[in-house]
Amino acid sequence: MSFALTEEQREIQQGIYKLAQERIKPRAAEIDEKGEYPFDIKDLLSEYGYIGANLPEEYGGAGLDLLTYCLIVEEVARVCASSSQIITVQELGSLPVLLSGNEEQKQRFMPDLATGKKLACFGLTEPSAGSDVKSMKTRAERDGAYYRLNGQKCFITNGNIADVYTVFAKTDKGITAFLIEKGTPGLSVGKIEKKMGIKGSPTAELFFEDCRVPEENVIAEEGQGFLVAMKTLDKTRPGIGAQALGIAQGALDVCLEYVQEREQFGRPIGSFQGIQFMLADMATQIEAARGLVYRAASALDNLGNTGKDPAMMRLASMAKVFASDVAMKVTTDAVQILGGYGYIQEFPVERMMRDAKITQIYEGTNQIQRVVISKSIM
């Protein structure tokens, strides 16, 4: 890896690599098989400060930059994509408060989120409003010092286990972002989705029936919710790129070990040029993705929270779309290299292939990312 990391970043990278390989990797197959949220892994990541890695120290986080956060996500995803979701979703649900909330909201919510005492989720998607965010139907009507929410959300990660919900709804002034706490009357959880991959990361429906939210829980101002959401997603896309990158690297790790042990026609299959070329392409694609993800994260670090630079946003979209496409290609090739063994659960590449697919879909489909990129370059 040629990207220039600081000494501190290398130490953190080595530390999370060791923790992931020793403590998380042995749980990965079981997490996938049972399809249950791994609270033990959440506690482990919280104990070492990884769950609030890039949240400010003043609110209980580790205060690390976005690039270092990406290093952490990459190493966890390298062994277990479901476990990496613990980190990425906590960031997704927390960033609206950090980037757009007022100081009172930050003091009230961030310490528990930064330390993993409470879990967050991000409620944007609806059955008829996925990529087309502005078509959402969830409404929030003013009711004195409160807002009364009615509507439905779907595909909400952590929807059934979150303590703090960042929810977007339409008001008279436009889309508005709200902080809703677990147990608020009128908030209920619907079905838990059965998914192809990341099975240890729960995905749920949410329903709002006259759900009363106090006005002090509005993030930013009424009508600024779309900007809150886009500002958040611009920051989280390199993290999804890092997740995809980790999945791809994990699949290559398995392949490199397998091709030296598996023999056909009297010699290891790694000695055949056809396999060697596949491995060379996989490694090259991964390294290219790594460079783009790290560059995007560094660029956003330099930008900070002061504004929105189209060139930086373009990089974030490029990192997400390229790394996720690489993850899908590499994991598919990994299954092919392992042949029949790649298709069964004895080896983890079939799980990695299933996990990789979602990185092309969530937090902005790759088609939407290409729209963002094309508009920027034109």
Catalytic residue among 74, 75, 205, 363: 363
Is 363 catalytic? The answer is yes
* Residues 6+ positions from 310 with CB-CB distance below 8 Å: 376
β-sheet bridge partners, residue 141? 148
Exposure pattern of 253-272 as b/e (b: 16+ CB <10 Å)? Answer: bbbeebbeeeeeeeeebbee
> By C-alpha distance, which of 261, 260, 251, 326 is closest to 288?
326
- Are the C-beta atoms of residues 72 and 88 closer than 8 Å to each other? no
Catalytic residues: 363
